[in-house]
Amino acid sequence: MESQDPAVVEAVKASGESTLEKATAKAKERFDQLMNVSLNIAVTGKTGSGKSSFINALRGLNDEDDGVALTGLTETTKEPTMYEHPAVPNVKIWDLPGIGSPKFKANKYLKDVKFHIYDFFIILNSERFMENDVMLAKEIKKQKKNFYFVRSKIDNDILAEQRKKGFDAQNVLSKIRKDCQQNLKELGDPKVFLISSFEVEHYDFELLQNSLEEELPEHKRSALLQAWPVCSAESLEKKIKMFKGMIWAASLASAGIAVIPVPGLSVACDAGILLLFFTRCYYAFGLDERSLTRLSEKVNKPLLEHVTKSKLASAIQEKAVARIQVSAALASLATIEYVASLFPGAGSVAAAGISFGTTNYLLREGLNELSQIARKIRKEAELDTLL
């Protein structure tokens, strides 16, 4: 069985008389948190440092996609602009105005951009970090928020150096790292993450995620992990494990609906929990059409067929809209019979009444199926051997 969520187990143990009701309520609360907790990421840095491109990479979008943060020579905005993650709408990424001006005052800047709403700050630069970046970091620290120095466009540096004799990627990277850190000594030598927004599988894109995750409060970690692009086989496995850990809360939450009827809540809500769960897995594993098409083009292999071969994955694909709204998914996909019909072994579950066991079974089967597809695609694309 999958690992039981400690928060839910604790609730079951602690409750006295109405154990099931309390545990169910706790499970619902937990599931709701796992799916809806807000995460606000601030991205700042001077004009042209690659903020918009980085935001698009986090959102899994290309420059040509609808609703992207415009890149290149655009007029810089003076106001923070919010971009919702297309599959995890509770994750919001903020494009903050640049800090290039010599008149820059860190405390005023932070006040202007309403610093308190962000969980942490990414300070982006495509060159060496400067005085302004240090001032800003100090002020962010003063406000008890975390900051991360990210050096962008590393692919450009590598490309330029590749032409030279005796090229050694690790040497180049460590030289850039040292150079970036030169002006950051007074901050106690903070880490600098070297990334390319066009190649999330390379350099420190995954390392950045790991560091962010480590320093986030526990209840926000799952939001980050759901939204972050898959950078490696290891990061895919981490996501799978996270979803496995949610099954306990999801099963209890949805089974409780049948045990304790709530006015206005129908059995459709059980299906809603299942579908929301599967849809989140589908996007988090990069199985959506946009991600797969891009990958397919990159490695020049047909990959979409893995999704269309699976009844569950293609059902999600058909119903999923670019911007997932839970209510819309509920309205169009409504019944538990429908979900159960996607699994050969499930039988007519609605007739039997939805139970903890049934939901648990469906969630485990579904997660397993989607995980296998994602692993197969990585293997077929030979992604991990390309690195």
Ligand X SMILES: Nc1nc2c(ncn2[C@@H]2O[C@H](COP(=O)(O)OP(=O)(O)OP(=O)(O)O)[C@@H](O)[C@H]2O)c(=O)[nH]1
Q: What residues numbered 65-84 form the site for ligand X, per CB under 6 A?
A: 71-72, 74, 76
Cβ neighbour number for residue 137 with a 10 Å cutoff = 22
What residue type is 39 in one-letter code? L
User: Helical H runs in 164-319?
Assistant: 169-181, 205-215, 218-227, 233-259, 268-284, 289-299, 305-309, 311-319
* Contact call for residues 216 and 208 (beta carbons, < 8 A): no
Q: What single letter denotes the amino acid at residue 3?
A: S
Residue 344: partners with Cβ closer than 8 Å, 6 or more residues away: none
Is residue 235 involved in binding Mg ion (CB under 5 A)? no
Query: Shortest distance, CB of residue 45 to ligand X, whole angstroms?
Result: 6
Smallest gap from Cβ 183 to ligand X, in A, equals 19
> By C-beta, is 153 or 378 nearer to ligand X?
153
Binding to ligand X by residue 343, rule CB under 6 A?
no
What is the closest distance, in whole angstroms, from the C-beta atom of residue 282 to Mg ion in the complex? 29
Q: Which does 47 bind (CB under 5 to 8 A by kind): ligand X, Mg ion, none?
A: ligand X
Q: How many residues bind ligand X (CB under 6 A)?
A: 20
CB-wise, 156 or 372, nearer to ligand X?
156
**Bridge partners, residue 363, by sequence:** none
Residue 49 or 371: the one with the smaller Cβ distance to ligand X is 49
CB of 68 to Mg ion, least distance (A): 10
- Which of ligand X, Mg ion, none does residue 72 bind (CB under 5 to 8 Å by kind)? ligand X
In sequence order, the 6+-apart residues with CB closer than 8 A to the CB of 152 are: 45, 49, 50, 53, 54, 124, 125, 126, 195, 196, 197
151 binds ligand X (CB under 6 A): no
Which residue sits closest to Mg ion, CB atoms considered?
A: 52
For the chain, give percent helix, strand, coil, nearest 5. 55, 10, 35
Which residues in the 30-59 window bind ligand X by CB under 6 A? Answer: 45, 47-53
Q: How far apart are CA 140 and CA 187, in angstroms?
A: 12
* Residue ranges in 218-277 that form contacts with ligand X under rule CB under 6 A: none
Q: Which of 44, 49, 52, 358 binds Mg ion (CB under 5 A)?
A: 52
Neighbouring CB atoms inside 10 A of 235's CB total 19
Give residues in contact with ligand X (CB under 6 A).
45, 47-53, 71-72, 74, 76, 98, 152-153, 155-156, 196-198
Give residues in contact with Mg ion (CB under 5 A).
51-52
